[in-house]
């Protein structure tokens, strides 16, 4: 089963800017897909199609087998949670708790269940203490968490995040990645757009690389070991691969890189 299938997707903005020029790709249910590409390559435009916020100019999109279109929008938005690149586009209520409650209430859940979900989502992203604060007074990192809480509270099967780590401090990035690990362990599918190749290489099991609205490559995350492909798409080789270039090993994270160094270089004296 695929979480989504995109066939020949084209999209041109109303001002005439072509953003997607015939994309076909799919993501298996339960996968962690990193969507990579330089600025302007079409990542955000693609993600906005996954829950029907933009309607395909040409081509088709299926989410959990269902075609995205006017008849299916309600079901699609229940199953697909999209976290925008800019939290100011997502947060509009007078308090964080109200904002997080908006989605579950819209699903028609009763007041008790809405309260339970709001509490759980705020706890999960670590901002329970900010529940009564107005969102527009929060820091960028706090706003991002509030926006993520609002989407988690819908308990989506497919979680789509647009540049979720941009603007977060290092502990914020680590907490977000831990949160995504929990979410993934519950059997859900995650798509994360980023131009951070290091993050993608460590986190993802699948990678999709966009260049100028077209698919440059899609497949297992190991395709991020292809320097030529990345260069052509305006991206760099993951730094761990640069460091280990002449060794032939390809560590996926700092822990395995460190283990290799210990094995081959011994411990530092003293």
Ligand X SMILES: Nc1ncnc2c1ncn2[C@@H]1O[C@H](COP(=O)(O)OP(=O)(O)O)[C@@H](O)[C@H]1O
DSSP state of 135: G
* # binding residues, Mg ion (CB under 5 A): 3
Task: Report the site for ligand X in 229-258 (rule: CB under 6 A).
Answer: none
Bridge partner residues of 191 (DSSP): 33, 160
| Under rule CB under 6 A, residue 90 binds ligand X | no
Residue 140 Cβ vs Mg ion, minimum distance, rounded to whole Å: 16
For the purposes of burial, counting CB atoms within 10 Å of the CB of 152, is it exposed (0-12), middle (13-18) or buried (19 or more)?
A: buried
Binding mask 24-43 toward ligand X (x if CB under 6 A, else -) reads: -------------x-xxxxx
| Under rule CB under 6 A, residue 45 binds ligand X | yes
| Under rule CB under 6 A, residue 17 binds ligand X | yes
| Under rule CB under 6 A, residue 57 binds ligand X | no
DSSP state of 60: E
Closer to Mg ion by CB, 212 or 225: give it.
Answer: 212
Taking phi over 0 as left and psi of -120 to 50 as alpha, with beta for the rest, 188 belongs to beta
110 interacts with, out of ligand X, Mg ion, none, CB within 5 to 8 A per kind? none
- Where do we find the tokens 């939290």? 87
Quick one: which of 33, 44, 90, 194 contacts Mg ion (CB under 5 A)? Answer: 44
Using DSSP, state whether 54 is helix, strand or coil: coil
Residue 76 Cβ vs Mg ion, minimum distance, rounded to whole Å: 21
Tell me how far the alpha carbon of residue 184 is from its chain's centroid: 12
| Under rule CB under 6 A, residue 87 binds ligand X | no
Helix axes 170-185, 140-152, angle to 10 degrees: 10
* # binding residues, ligand X (CB under 6 A): 12
Q: What H or E segment, with its residue span, contains residue 262?
A: helix 254-265
114 interacts with, out of ligand X, Mg ion, none, CB within 5 to 8 A per kind? none
CA–CA dist 83, 148 (Å, integer): 6
Stretch that binds ligand X, among 11-19, 49-57, 171-179, 230-238 (CB under 6 A): 11-19
Quick check: 183 and 125 in contact, CB under 8 A?
A: no
Q: Which residues bind ligand X (CB under 6 A)?
A: 13, 15, 17, 19, 37, 39-45
Q: State the residues that interact with Mg ion by CB under 5 A.
A: 43-44, 85
């Amino acid at each position: 089963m695929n979480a989504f299938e995109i066939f020949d997707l084209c999209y041109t903005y109303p001002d005439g800017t072509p953003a997607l020029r015939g994309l076909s790709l799919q993501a298996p249910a339960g996968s962690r897909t990193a969507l990579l590409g330089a600025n302007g390559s079409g990542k955000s435009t693609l993600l906005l199609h996954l829950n029907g916020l933009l309607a395909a100019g040409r081509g088709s999109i299926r989410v959990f087998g269902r075609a995205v279109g006017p008849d299916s929008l309600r079901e699609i938005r229940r199953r697909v949670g999209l976290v925008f690149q800019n939290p100011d586009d997502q947060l509009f209520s007078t308090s964080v708790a109200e904002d997080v409650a908006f989605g579950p209430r819209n699903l028609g859940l009763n007041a008790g269940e809405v309260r339970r979900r709001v509490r759980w989502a705020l706890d999960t992203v670590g901002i329970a203490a900010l529940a009564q604060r107005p969102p527009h007074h929060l820091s960028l990192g706090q706003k991002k968490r509030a926006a993520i809480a609002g989407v988690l509270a819908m308990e989506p099967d497919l979680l789509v995040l647009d540049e979720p780590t941009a603007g977060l401090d290092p502990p914020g990035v680590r907490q977000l990645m831990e949160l995504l690990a929990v979410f993934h362990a519950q059997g859900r599918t995650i798509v994360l757009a980023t131009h951070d190749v290091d993050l993608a290489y460590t986190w993802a099991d699948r990678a999709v690389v966009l260049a100028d609205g077209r698919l440059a490559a899609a497949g297992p995350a190991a395709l991020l070991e292809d320097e030529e492909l990345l260069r052509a798409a305006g991206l760099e080789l993951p730094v761990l691969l640069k460091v280990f270039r002449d060794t032939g090993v390809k560590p996926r994270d700092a822990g395995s890189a460190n283990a290799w160094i210990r094995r081959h270089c011994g411990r530092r004296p003293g």
